[in-house]
Structure 1
């Protein structure tokens, strides 16, 4: 295959929306000069002359910013000043050279991975194609439009909304708090770009990822996957599937398929196979056994061993090699067996081992998604793994991410629960053109991602089915289950055909007597946490309600709590403007009244009086802590129960800077809650609950090693005394859990119970205290830093405490500095070592001030 990369410098200008593709010559012939807008009374008028440069791939927002025609949308209140992008057509132009070698290929295909959104393509003054789907590439043969030497390509893009204004809409609820257009249900592009309850609308329009000409002759591989069929006797039986397209339509041809599977030490499989290919698509399946198989495991459960698959086809004297694929050897099933109480489990089994899934929901990492660099994907996946996550759920209002993201997930042991891109709306599957696009999109994406070992399950949508069963009364309910033709019939067939060993479910949440049941399938817990629900959550800070919920739920794929950013991130989006908690910029970035009140209520219950929260630093500190406290306590409640097999927070990452759900912010800075989740997700974990005269200790070992440990349990007083009650010898198999109990009278507000490992530290410490710190009175902890040792770019800090301290934190002048732990509790007399990364400036240890009642 010969490629001609079309990325690079293009010319760009805007026109009014009624300047259609038939007027391409007029637009291309605009007078020279630099493009600008003339500002009228109510709108911008595109100047008649000139272009600006655009470095494609890009969203139009980027070159507009580079040419001072638009400010950064995510700063200050600038999202309010970018909605006009939908009102124009955007014209990309470029000249390029084509040589004879490329034209001698049997086909020359124009491949554009993302066109957002409604695209018309003109090559050398001839209309070539139209395209209306940002979720599947334009991939067409354009050889007949090309000529040797100089060529020109014009791409006209619009938002696509103009085709559906003003009346097209069948959604009752997609125009949420920040949403601006119900018509998004017709557009196959990221729905969140028009706003959601957690982000402002930033309309997108542009060209994304790869854009190139591909010259192809002979036959080439158009589909590949490597499925692990079985694992036995240190061997893996695999099925290699190839889809091969022969460009000779009216004849059959001799061909050779070669392929190899390699590990870090070299080839483990190397084969050549003679083929006789019909014109068009051919399907080849090979069954092989890999000796001394190195298995792939989710993070915490074992190593992430990976292999590289290479393959190529030689046909009619032409050899075409596919892009190397990273594959892992692992089996995966979704087990939903009936339990003794009549409910059903919802558990992923990898290599025969039940997995407890920990992690979060993934949304696009930028409101302007076409500008996300690969380094951001790498950092976010690395940080998820470091937080001890082993699953991310790709939420259905975002996008299908680039191949590199899934490679990173496989490398770090992150399973992916993947929605198709449909969320919170009734989709028009009564329209033939929409169904056709949906089918092509699903086939492309499932085939593209089929070889990734991280893909754990495909889900048809986010919350569409739940909306039918839980959200509306009979007078509001639609007469037809819009979207069900896709989610219940078309998509399961596509997954079965193109990824037959990947489970499918019609929606998330799904299964049970209704879509969002507690007793089967996965659950989005929002409705179950209302005061009027069977859980009976008394207030926004009720930790004990988490136990009542966890006693029922099988797999929580969404639960969440808000928390503020660190100060440097707040200052960053203010861009030099004064930071005020009464300011419009502050409120614009997620600090609306209802959210703020929930955060303040949790602080009042657990930490401090409201008077301390009028100070920005106090609010950021306490707000970050209560977010972490709520997240961690819910995670531990879910992990205690053996019938539960997953806790995914809503949400892991963010597309813009706001007071929101995430433990890591838009700027890739860890929020305070990150450390609470990191501890709650540890693969070796002690969980202690003391209630009604009994202390129950849950011991979890998710690692692949058998463990022996000596655990001490006892009580301590808040004045600093400790009393051991007994020892428990733990002898645990890999991938196992156990519980033991000891008598525990109610200590009131005088002390609490603890369990700790005394012959090592891989289990750490657990106490029976779970928030409500205002109800206890602790002595001055006498915290101090005993030792600091520089090791490369790491600082190893030893901290000690004389008495019990519920919240200890290390503070650095730079609040973006990362720690391996922070905001932790310490027992009387305890010493703790903390690693600090890239710390510049003085480091101090502090106790979080708590207002006792």
Structure 2
């Protein structure tokens, strides 16, 4: 087998859209012209074009001038010269690297790069081919991702056309190659030009936030057109791996290992192989060999002698794996991974498949019926019920092809550090590269994985669209079938719900556009290629309506915000979290500001200001601010007194409090099965729902959710006559908890306490009521036990109380390798104490903590030698709370 990588430096130029693939010769004639430079002589300014030219290439002149013309010149490449581009990579990155445009995410620069969508982009590469490569039976050009509308020309001959960023390009090009120098040309466009006219299908996904409502026709990441939480950044490019591969004989092209059954320490497993043999008109004797290894030891070897025909062949074997080491989600056990290798020998040639990491585990989506005729929605791994804690994953970057592997590792490991057990792959994004799924498997993060369709009806009346949908479903289900992190395939994001709930009778479409994809093509592909992974046609789904709160998974926006019978009574009414009867919340979130270092970074030297253009451009619009300010005002302090710096802190605290409230409400329900916040990460720097920002910085809310998702967790709620205590142990070890429950006032004086020994089995949950009394306007119920964080009953209504002035202090600091161990304490109840260094990107084992009177807390400051400063975020009691405090003698 021969492989020739085409990664590296290419030449790139922009042409007008009417320079189509058949005009490639005139483009190539400019190959040796003077390179394009970021100066006006090398560019045409949009505003300098005559009106008829602006109208031709950029739409209506008035609109074009508003969109494209900024205070600084907006330019596109002239008709001469090329720039260098790194492949894999995208057009936007190349333009930034060559100084032609500014980094889009700084200031308001996204507005300055929209013109990229209106040109065709020509990538050109010369490479050398050996006779040995041409001697192979099959020589293919393999490109993992082409975004989007691609024409491939090799040595002056058209090879193929490709229109799907979600399905790899692979074509036999042997007949086009020659020994020595070869030239590959790839013409790309963003795809927005293909379906511009309005139509009845695209009407239903029209959005004021998007620059092209016809996105539903293009099989590329839908969010790049703009969403309600991100600016449009239209780009195109060549993503991930690109190589020429030649092989002779036979090779494994797809494989997986299914865990069928667990029996004590043994596992019944089944190997599946898809094998391709060259020479289409002859059979060949072939030896297939495969093995599983773990911890440097061979766990199983298999060998089959096969007679293969030309093209695709299949093989399988069912065996019992002795003393199997199981794979568990994060916190529930170890993430044991076997190395799975396979090779084929035919006609004297041996071809090795790329090794894979697989996990031995069973997985089930439990939809069993409950006594009230509703149904469960539990994921079970290895027969054990899993509470799915996590968030919605969106692409890591609006310029998504430039994300390095290290960013995927950071984001997945940070999810694990926040005690996540699941990501939901949101359907408006993309199928991620292999490294992401490898990291999820390594860190124990399950995936609730949408197919990439979102918030719109899709044109399943077009044969061409169905063709691409089927290719994509086949490719992705086969590619991802072996990963132990894969928990469920979901057909799309909110499209079933949109049909049942969003469009009342007069404007509802004539039929459910997309049903041929979501209800037929995709379930068939899942059944063929990954039959042990469950499938749902949409998220949310199940019940008489797609987003019925008592069935299936729920996107809780309608429950909390749209239904007048159940919505919040104020921003935010915490009891609403307790009332929601959802089994599994797969979308709901709260806004929260970013850390100051991030805000300063995208201001790029400009002054931070609440009403500044940059501030608003990065997500601080009126609706968002009214939610954030209203919540701060109700729960923590008077938001009108906050400056920019304190706003960032209190906004983060408020977001964290609300995420913790929802998580604890879901975890204490006997039927609660999952809480996935909207959303975990971000594709650009903005004030939004995430706990990790675009620059991979932990936001304040990260620590609140990490505590709420702890594998060992106490929750206490006020109840009639006392308190309800929930004890959660998701770990694989049984434990005995010597539990103390009682009442404490804010100055540290305790009332009656109750001692209780609780035996907690592995992976278990239990709940009980204790009789307690105390004046809750001046104190709280608490529950504590060794190995658990102390829990209190106050919830987040902090403005309802008058707290004594905190005397929080650092008691002790010691070094531990590259880390610091900082011990802090206070003699009175302190709701929010936090450590801070000069760098707000430093990681802590915990932060923004509650200090209980007389209780010490030690925090690890990671990879830091600077002694941090201890801060206290003060609360401001409401007028009612202050008046109440004057009439008693509690203090």
For 1:32, the equivalent position in structure 2 comes to 33
Q: How does 1:505-520 map to 2 (within 5 A)?
A: 505-520=536-551
Name whichever of 594-603 and 796-805 sits farther off.
796-805
On the 8 A contact 2:820/2:865 being kept in 1, the answer is: no
Correspondence 1:640 to 2:668:
yes
Cα deviation for residue 739 of structure 1 reads 1.3
Q: How does 1:451-470 map to 2 (within 5 A)?
A: 451-470=482-501
Cα deviation for residue 151 of structure 1 reads 0.5
Query: Could you give the per-residue CA deviations for residues 393-434 of structure 1, whole angstroms, max 9, x where no partner exists?
Result: 000000000011000000000000000000000000010010
Of the three residues 194, 217, 221, the one matched with 1:186 is: 217
Cα deviation for residue 53 of structure 1 reads 0.6
For 1:218, the equivalent position in structure 2 comes to 249
Of the three residues 582, 587, 594, the one matched with 1:565 is: 594
Cα deviation for residue 271 of structure 1 reads 2.2
Correspondence 1:594 to 2:615:
no
Counterparts of 1:679 and 1:97, CA distance in 2: 56
Of the three residues 778, 781, 788, the one matched with 1:753 is: 781
Q: How does 1:688-707 map to 2 (within 5 A)?
A: 688-707=716-735
Query: Could you give the per-residue CA deviations for residues 653-703 of structure 1, whole angstroms, max 9, x where no partner exists?
Result: 000000000001000000000000000000110000013323000000010
Q: How does 1:486-525 map to 2 (within 5 A)?
A: 486-525=517-556
Name whichever of 271-280 and 828-837 sits farther off.
271-280
**Which runs of 5 or more residues in structure 1 are unaligned?**
none
On the 8 A contact 1:692/1:745 being kept in 2, the answer is: no
Counterparts of 2:680 and 2:525, CA distance in 1: 29
**Which runs of 5 or more residues in structure 2 are unaligned?**
37-41, 55-74, 879-891
Check 1:744–1:533 CA distance in 2 against 1; reply closer, same or farther (3 A cut): farther
Check 1:559–1:746 CA distance in 2 against 1; reply closer, same or farther (3 A cut): farther
Cα deviation for residue 224 of structure 1 reads 0.4
Counterparts of 2:90 and 2:266, CA distance in 1: 48
Report the secondary structure of 1:161's partner residue: coil
Counterparts of 1:661 and 1:284, CA distance in 2: 47
Name whichever of 816-825 and 458-467 sits farther off.
816-825
Counterparts of 2:567 and 2:240, CA distance in 1: 48
Check 1:517–1:746 CA distance in 2 against 1; reply closer, same or farther (3 A cut): farther
For 1:23, the equivalent position in structure 2 comes to 23
Counterparts of 1:714 and 1:102, CA distance in 2: 77
For 1:8, the equivalent position in structure 2 comes to 8
Of the three residues 563, 574, 584, the one matched with 2:613 is: 584
Counterparts of 1:32 and 1:685, CA distance in 2: 67
Cα deviation for residue 169 of structure 1 reads 5.6
TM-score, scaled relative to structure 2: 0.94
Counterparts of 1:589 and 1:308, CA distance in 2: 44
Cα deviation for residue 178 of structure 1 reads 1.8
Report the secondary structure of 2:410's partner residue: helix
Report the secondary structure of 1:818's partner residue: coil
Query: Could you give the per-residue CA deviations for residues 26-52 of structure 1, whole angstroms, max 9, x where no partner exists?
Result: 101115211242224256454222111
Name whichever of 450-459 and 315-324 sits farther off.
315-324
Name whichever of 741-750 and 369-378 sits farther off.
741-750
On the 8 A contact 2:137/2:246 being kept in 1, the answer is: yes
Of the three residues 631, 642, 646, the one matched with 2:659 is: 631
Cα deviation for residue 536 of structure 1 reads 3.5
For 1:195, the equivalent position in structure 2 comes to 226
Counterparts of 2:566 and 2:665, CA distance in 1: 14
Counterparts of 1:748 and 1:703, CA distance in 2: 33
Counterparts of 1:719 and 1:746, CA distance in 2: 14
Report the secondary structure of 1:674's partner residue: helix
Cα deviation for residue 531 of structure 1 reads 6.2
On the 8 A contact 1:712/1:724 being kept in 2, the answer is: no
Q: How does 1:658-669 map to 2 (within 5 A)?
A: 658-669=686-697
Of the three residues 145, 158, 174, the one matched with 2:205 is: 174
Cα deviation for residue 823 of structure 1 reads 0.9
Correspondence 1:574 to 2:574:
no
Correspondence 1:82 to 2:113:
yes
Report the secondary structure of 1:671's partner residue: coil
For 2:764, the equivalent position in structure 1 comes to 736
Cα deviation for residue 176 of structure 1 reads 2.7
Query: Could you give the per-residue CA deviations for residues 62-105 of structure 1, whole angstroms, max 9, x where no partner exists?
Result: 11111111110111101111111110000011110000000000
Report the secondary structure of 2:304's partner residue: strand
Counterparts of 1:100 and 1:434, CA distance in 2: 40
Counterparts of 1:513 and 1:534, CA distance in 2: 19
For 2:336, the equivalent position in structure 1 comes to 305
For 2:710, the equivalent position in structure 1 comes to 682
Q: How does 1:281-430 map to 2 (within 5 A)?
A: 281-430=312-461
Counterparts of 1:262 and 1:485, CA distance in 2: 41
Report the secondary structure of 1:53's partner residue: strand
Cα deviation for residue 321 of structure 1 reads 1.1
Query: Could you give the per-residue CA deviations for residues 156-210 of structure 1, whole angstroms, max 9, x where no partner exists?
Result: 0011221211234613443334211111100000000000001000002000001
